[in-house]
Amino acid sequence: MRKAWLAPVLIVVSIVLQLTVLNGLRLPGGGVPDLVLVVVAALAVADGPMAGAIIGFAAGLCLDLAPPGSLLIGQYALVFCLAGWGAGRLSRAVGRSPLRSVVLMAIVVAAAEVLSSALGLVLEPAQVTTAEVRVVLPATIGYDLVLCPFMLYLVMLAGTVLAEGLAAGAAAVGIRGVPARREGAQRRQHRPHQPHLAHAAGRTGDGWVGGGGDRHHGTRPSARTRVRFRPANGVAGSASGLRHSAGSLPHATPSLRLAGRRRGDGAIGNYVGSGSASRGGGPGRHPGMLTGASSRQFRPRGGQAGGSATAQYTVRRAPSGPGRGQTPIKFGGHRGDGALGRALGSGSLAPPRRPAPATPRLRTGTGRSALTTRGSAPRAVPKVQFRSAARPVARRPAAVPRFRHNSRLRLHGTTSGLVSGGVLGQSTFRAGRQRAGAPRLRFATGRRGSGPPGRGMLGGSGRSPLRGPSLRIGKQPRFGYGRRSLLSFLTGRRVGGSWLARKRVGSRSGTWLIGKRTGGLR
């Protein structure tokens, strides 16, 4: 919190400086900067409309009363009060951009000077003449505008230094350009390296989770930051929880899809290695990166209905590659076999149409998918090898997918390297409101008939390649479809869970359901 005495001290100092030093200056043009007005505007930009109005009124009144003042008492109070309120109000409207704040300040200051001159012309015609205004007003406004950015910076710096200490203040001002305004603003501020969850795309069942690349999935967020999810906000491969270098940032937006449209669908898949491979730099930085596939680019094909269980990935060569056709590799899952971390898809892998010998390829594994339910065709286990890769991707350590409290998923050194890490670490979900209880994010239930109704897991898949359904016995959803309804209340039984589930899934998105529960997303 900004120190309360900052504004009075600044105002008094600026008034004394204005009266003793600035007004005595002989500057070209005939005017002198109105330091008090600029300080009022800067404080208002920093503190908001109410504080701005009060500060402006007080500063103006002091300026009216301070000894050489010969105008009517209240003139400057009126003008500065309006200026402070206006600056504070507009600063909330324009956001936190430094440039816009300065422009806004300039507008407000110029308007206040004009208003002050007009008021003087009306109220004190003997002291203020039109010729004087014509000479003094432009020069004064000009000097004010010169002063604006410096005073804004100074006020911000002072506030930040007082609030956070010298080093933090300097860092905040120096790095971010605009230091923190207030704590509330800080909290509202966008933090790029935190997972956010916000409204998904408009479709039912879409929920995108993306985390920043610089964040380990296990890192617990600070207590005062709320977990928010934002659509398409992440960095490719961020779900793996490993740090990225700047060079490996993706072109495409990763989407970590939770839940599918249909129950029992969906997986948490992230586009491992998407985009970054096309740069060709730094092979092996990321466990999921397509090593050496510099001419390749994974392009997510948008969201398929039903979430990423049926997500298709198309591996394309760069258009510049001579003599190479497109090699679409589709990872299609079928309904019901979504999996945690099926990054490159565990479903049927469409073979490349025309495999080029020198081109890195995905080799489909032959193992039978653990999550195959139909048993009709052998599903591919994601096992990706590239010929040009120095070592198998699968050997690389993978991040631990942690989507559940007390997850039994463990890191196996030799497990599939494409298992995506969990950006939804349990600690992430325990922040904020859900701190007390276990994270219960259920986007979809299990399939009907596969267990007690209303069971679900993150990602919505009824099945995981790594865990059988039996492991989830005993879990009851805390919210979602198995919630006690009026019907169940009346009948005393948990009636209607699945029916309600169908109803709700049909009309509400999983994100909405989360938001309804957590109260944070609307």
The residue (of 64 and 265) whose beta carbon lies closer to other proteins is 64
The residue (of 19 and 168) whose beta carbon lies closer to other proteins is 19
| One of 10, 36, 156, 380 touching other proteins (CB under 8 A) | 36
Q: Answer whether 343's CB lies under 8 Å from 271's CB.
A: yes
The residue (of 67 and 375) whose beta carbon lies closer to other proteins is 67
- Phi, psi (5° rounding) for residue 290? -80, 105
Q: Which 140-169 residues touch other proteins, going by CB under 8 A?
A: 140
Burial (CB count within 10 angstroms: exposed 0-12, middle 13-18, buried 19+), residue 490? exposed
**Shortest distance, position 194 Cβ to other proteins, whole Å:** 24
Binding residues with other proteins: total (CB under 8 A): 63
Indicate the residue type of 488.
S
| One of 15, 83, 151, 155 touching other proteins (CB under 8 A) | 15
**Shortest distance, position 121 Cβ to other proteins, whole Å:** 9
Q: Across the strands, what pairs with 492?
A: none
Token representation of residue 58: 């007080």
Q: Answer whether 287's CB lies under 8 Å from 418's CB.
A: yes
Residue located via tokens 């000894």: 67
Dihedral (Cα; 499, 333, 415, 281), 10-degree rounding: -120
Q: Rule CB under 8 A: is residue 491 a binding residue for other proteins?
A: no
Token representation of residue 106: 């300039």
Q: Rule CB under 8 A: is residue 131 a binding residue for other proteins?
A: yes
| One of 18, 248, 278, 359 touching other proteins (CB under 8 A) | 18
| One of 69, 218, 280, 352 touching other proteins (CB under 8 A) | 69
Q: Rule CB under 8 A: is residue 29 a binding residue for other proteins?
A: yes
The residue (of 34 and 206) whose beta carbon lies closer to other proteins is 34
Q: Rule CB under 8 A: is residue 233 a binding residue for other proteins?
A: no
Token representation of residue 317: 């060569």
Q: Rule CB under 8 A: is residue 318 a binding residue for other proteins?
A: no
| One of 62, 343, 409, 423 touching other proteins (CB under 8 A) | 62
| One of 38, 42, 78, 277 touching other proteins (CB under 8 A) | 78
**Shortest distance, position 87 Cβ to other proteins, whole Å:** 12
**String of contacts with other proteins for each residue 89-128, x by CB under 8 A:** x--x-----------------------xx--x--xx-xxx
Q: Rule CB under 8 A: is residue 34 a binding residue for other proteins?
A: yes
Helix (H, G, I), strand (E, B) or coil at 323: coil
Q: Rule CB under 8 A: is residue 24 a binding residue for other proteins?
A: yes
**String of contacts with other proteins for each residue 172-191, x by CB under 8 A:** --------------------
- Phi, psi (5° rounding) for residue 54? -65, -45
Give how far Cα 419 sits from Cα of 109, 197, 239, Å: 57, 21, 10
Q: Which 411-440 residues touch other proteins, going by CB under 8 A?
A: none
Share of the chain residues as helix, strand and coil, in percent rounded to the nearest 5: 40, 5, 55
Give how far Cα 20 sits from Cα of 13, 24, 77, 101, Å: 11, 7, 20, 29
| One of 26, 320, 323, 406 touching other proteins (CB under 8 A) | 26
Helix (H, G, I), strand (E, B) or coil at 313: strand
User: What's the rounded Cα separation, in Å, for the pair 329 and 312?
Assistant: 8
End-to-end Cα separation, the chain, in angstroms: 28
Q: Answer whether 297's CB lies under 8 Å from 271's CB.
A: no
Note the residues at the interface with other proteins (CB under 8 A): 12, 15-21, 23-24, 26, 28-31, 34, 36, 48-50, 53-54, 57, 60-78, 81-82, 85, 89, 92, 116-117, 120, 123-124, 126-129, 131-133, 135-136, 139-140
